[in-house]
């Protein structure tokens, strides 16, 4: 298959996987923890390399999952001890990410991983890193990893849909009726961690953060229904990847950066022209309403 197809497919899978998961973070008012986890998983990737001497998919996913959960646990511990939530996220985020950066220096030239690569990524290289079994190539490794994580996330959301919905909108009531709110919380953190590391090597932390936060925030401006919001967030993630790739080809700029910018374009459009929350639409309705009142008097 063509070079363009694999890049577009990878970007769309990132948008869909991160978009659906990130929508849950936006609803729970935990968007900034996505930023934290998308950076702290670097420590999990480096730790997995020290243990296995390999950057293959499964060890990376396990290492990132562990560090993602630890990030959530440490933030919760600090918050429970009286530290403000945003400060707790900042402390854990910077500390674990900095530790990961320091540990990278011990790897040296053994692997193609550095801080710039971790932050920016390079989706253009995705078609060349293929999954090969018995000499047969089955397509880019990133596509298989993202597809597997997307399947896991969808299965978990389907199995625990009611519990996730209850604990998101009314955690106190959910606790009273026996929903394991903290388990659901850490399950979500695990999903975010897996989504992040599956996307991390291909597109870098910047696009991961954009896809985790912006599509969900955009969908939030367009609908009040939980299920529709999840679907919309994934669709916006896919459209952002496609539009961003078009920007990158047209102006010969960073593909991942263009995809991140495209998420912002969709958010601005929803913010200004959304049917319910759009600023301009509200002003138009307000003006129309005033004219109607005046003419009726």
pLDDT tens across 118-172, in order?
556 678 888 888 888 888 888 898 899 999 999 999 999 999 999 999 999 999 9
Q: What torsion, rounded to 10 degrees, do the Cα atoms 68, 184, 78, 61 define?
A: -10
Neighbours of 247 (CB within 10 A): 17
For 115-272, list the strands marked E by DSSP: 130-133, 136-140
Residue 27 exposed, middle or buried by CB count within 10 Å (0-12, 13-18, 19+): buried
Q: Is the pLDDT of residue 117 over 80?
A: no
Could you report the per-residue pLDDT of 19-46, keeping only the tens digit for each? 999 999 999 988 888 888 888 888 888 8
Integer Cα distance of 189 and 269 in angstroms: 29
Instruction: Quote the percentage of the chain above a pLDDT of 90.
Output: 47
Q: What's the pLDDT band for 287 if we cut at 50, 70, 90?
A: low
Integer Cα distance of 287 and 274 in angstroms: 17
Integer Cα distance of 231 and 219 in angstroms: 9
Q: Is the pLDDT of residue 292 over 50?
A: no
Q: What is the DSSP string of 14-62?
A: HHHHHHHHHHHHHHTT-HHHHHHHHHHHHHHHHHHHHHHS---HHHHHH
Closest CA to 161 of 174, 147, 148, 176: 174
- Most confident region among 60-64, 174-178, 204-208 by mean pLDDT: 174-178
Q: Is the pLDDT of residue 224 over 70?
A: yes
Integer Cα distance of 285 and 124 in angstroms: 45
Integer Cα distance of 180 and 187 in angstroms: 11
Q: What's the pLDDT band for 12 if we cut at 50, 70, 90?
A: very high
- pTM for this prediction: 0.87
pLDDT higher for 60 or 22?
22
Could you report the per-residue pLDDT of 174-204, keeping only the tens digit for each? 999 999 999 999 899 889 888 987 887 677 7
Integer Cα distance of 205 and 3 in angstroms: 23
Q: Is the pLDDT of residue 113 over 60?
A: no
């Amino acid at each position: 298959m063509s070079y363009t197809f694999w890049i577009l497919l990878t970007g769309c899978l990132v948008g869909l996987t991160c978009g659906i998961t990130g929508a849950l973070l936006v609803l729970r008012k935990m968007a900034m923890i996505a930023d934290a986890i998308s950076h702290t998983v670097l420590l999990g990737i480096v730790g997995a390399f020290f243990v296995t001497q390999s950057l293959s998919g499964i060890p990376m996913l396990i290492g990132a999952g562990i560090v993602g959960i630890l990030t959530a646990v440490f933030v919760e511990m600090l918050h429970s001890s009286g530290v403000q939530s945003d400060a707790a996220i900042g402390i854990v985020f910077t500390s674990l990410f900095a530790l990961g950066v320091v540990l990278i220096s011990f790897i040296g030239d053994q692997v193609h991983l550095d801080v710039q690569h971790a932050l920016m990524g390079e989706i253009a290289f995705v078609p060349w890193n293929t999954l090969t079994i018995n000499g047969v190539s089955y397509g880019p490794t990133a596509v298989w990893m993202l597809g597997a994580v997307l399947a896991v996330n969808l299965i978990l959301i389907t199995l625990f849909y009611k519990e996730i919905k209850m604990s998101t909108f009314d955690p106190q009531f959910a606790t009273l009726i026996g929903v394991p709110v903290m388990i659901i919380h850490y399950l979500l953190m695990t999903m975010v961690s897996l989504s992040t590391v599956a996307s991390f090597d291909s597109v870098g932390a910047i696009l991961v953060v954009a896809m985790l936060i912006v599509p969900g925030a955009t969908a939030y401006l367009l609908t009040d229904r939980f299920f529709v919001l999840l679907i919309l967030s994934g669709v916006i993630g896919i459209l952002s990847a496609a539009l961003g790739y078009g920007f990158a080809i047209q102006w010969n700029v960073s593909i991942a950066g263009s995809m991140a910018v495209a998420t912002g374009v969709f958010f601005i459009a929803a913010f200004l022209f959304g049917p319910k929350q759009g600023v301009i639409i509200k002003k138009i309705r307000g003006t129309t309403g005033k004219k109607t009142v005046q003419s009726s008097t």
